Amino acid sequence: MGNPKLCVAGVGAIGTLIAAMLGKKYADSLSVIARGKRAESFREKGLVLHSDFYGEVVSQPANVEENGEALGVQDFVFVCVKNYSLDAIAKQIAPCIGPDTVIIPVMNGIEPGDRLRKLFQQAHVLDSVIYTITGAQEDFSAKQSGTYTYMFLGTKDKYETSVNAAHALHEIMRSVDFDCRFAEDIEAEIWRKYILNCAFNTITARYKTSIGPIREDPEKLKDIRGLFEEAYAVSKAIGISLPEDLIEKQFTFMTTKQSPKATSSMERDVSAGRPTELDAFLGSLIRKAKEYSVDVPVCTRYYNELKDMSI
């Protein structure tokens, strides 16, 4: 059997990072879905990753196409878009999805996997969470900064076929030297990061600033703790298995150890007047809170204020 057919849809910062790494070994069977000048750049210069952690990586994918029709059914499809673009990218990848296709969302929030399961009920949909500081550059390369980039991979769906698919993809990622960690409880890993993002992305976006000035204000510190506690309360109501001291550790990290210059993706989007992932960070939490009868007044206040600020 030849190399697996791999497709990356949504080739911005995270998509380029993943596709470039996959191309180290699987370039001959790697496809990306891109259009316009981005597609031209990939065809001419390849997928370029400047990484402090992984080094300089340039991979030339076998195919660069605007949609899945030109690619046909794939073995693995990575979905690396902002949450508000998920429905649109789903239409583009639909021709790539067969009954044995494995779909992997590498996205923020708690809902992407569930949304893709509803859209592609015939396929195997995995779940993941990635930790990295990676940005898209004007020349369509990706720049990864810092001493880490790693991903947890698993599946909420405990069918044997899905678990086997997750293990198979884990081996593929490890084979290209990507720091990929198999998670028996992927929901816990997703919520661990999600709770942090609910506080960090929310507070920095609301005040359009880095975390430094925010943590000098006692009232804003109180709100940070409130955002943490409400998100954690929802996770416990759902039945997510998380450490009892998680909030204290995350609060301490954000308020004493994190770089004062640290900003969030949502802060950058709000400040630049771009669409935001407000619904992914707070909208989905508020919906879950309502479903499980959990009061989330601080999250609701910030959601309403940010909704007025966002486009």
Cβ pair 22, 6 in contact under 8 A: yes
Residues 176 and 91 in one domain: yes
Structural domain boundaries enclosing 90? 6-184
Q: Residue 195 domain-assigned? A: yes
Looking at this protein, which amino acid is placed at residue 300?
T
Same-domain check for residues 147 and 292: no
| Domain shared by 145 and 251, yes or no | no
Q: Are residues 247 and 133 in the same domain?
A: no
Last residue in a domain, options 184, 203, 227 = 184
Shared domain for 215 and 252, answered yes or no, is yes
Q: Are 187 and 156 in contact (CB under 8 A)?
A: yes
What's the Cα-to-Cα distance from 60 to each of 6, 8, 202, rounded to whole Å? 13, 13, 37
Count of structural domains, the chain: 2
Lookup: tokens for 196: 């942090």
Query: Do 100 and 248 sit in the same domain of this protein?
Result: no
Q: How confident is the prediction for the chain on average, in pLDDT?
A: 96
**Residue 297 and residue 283 in one domain:** yes
Under DSSP, the state recorded for 156 is S
Instruction: Tell me the whole-structure pTM to 2 decimals.
Output: 0.95
- Is there a single domain that holds both residue 25 and residue 168? yes
Cα separation, 14 vs 18, whole angstroms: 6
Task: Classify 27 as helix, strand or coil.
Answer: helix
151 and 30 in a common domain: yes
Is residue 132 situated within a structural domain?
yes
Which residues make beta-bridge pairs with 127?
Answer: 154
> SS3 sequence, 210-275?
CHHHHCCCHHHHHHHHHHHHHHHHHHHHHCCCCCCCHHHHHHHHHHHHCCCCCCCHHHHHHHHCCC
**Confidence bin at 158 (pLDDT 50/70/90):** confident
> Given the structure tokens 């703790």, which residue do they identify?
225
Which domain-ending residue is among 143, 168, 184?
Answer: 184
CATH code for position 266: 1.10.1040.10
Measured CA to CA, the distance from residue 52 to residue 41 in angstroms comes to 22
Cα–Cα distance, 302 to 270 (Å, whole number) = 14
Percent of the chain with pLDDT over 90: 96
Structure confidence by residue, pLDDT tens digits, 10-24: 999 999 999 999 999
Among the candidates 184, 199, 226, a domain finishes at 184
Compute the average pLDDT of residues 55-62.
98
Mean pLDDT of 14-37: 98
Of 138, 142, 179, the residue nearest 50 (C-alpha): 142
Helices and strands (DSSP H and E) totals, the chain:
13, 11
The order of strands in the sheet holding 102-105 is 63-65, 30-33, 6-9, 76-79, 102-105, 124-125
Instruction: Render pLDDT for 201-212 as a digit per residue (tens, 0 to 9).
Output: 999 999 999 999
What are 185-238's pLDDT values in tens digits?
A: 999 999 999 999 999 999 999 999 999 999 999 999 999 999 999 999 999 999
- Residues counted in the chain: 311
127 and 232 both lie in a single domain: no
pLDDT at 303: 98
CATH number at residue 160: 3.40.50.720
Nearest to 34 by CA among 73, 8, 6, 69: 8
57 - beta bridge partners?
49
Q: Environment class of residue 25 by beta-carbon count within 10 Å: exposed (0-12), middle (13-18) or buried (19+)?
A: middle
Assess whether 192 and 282 both reside in one domain.
Answer: yes
Tell me if 242 is assigned to some domain. yes
Q: In the prediction, which pLDDT does 311 show?
A: 60
In a domain, residue 1? The reply is no
How far is residue 171 from each of residues 30, 164, 166, 181, measured CA to CA in Å? 16, 11, 9, 10
Position 254 in a domain:
yes
29 and 60 both lie in a single domain: yes
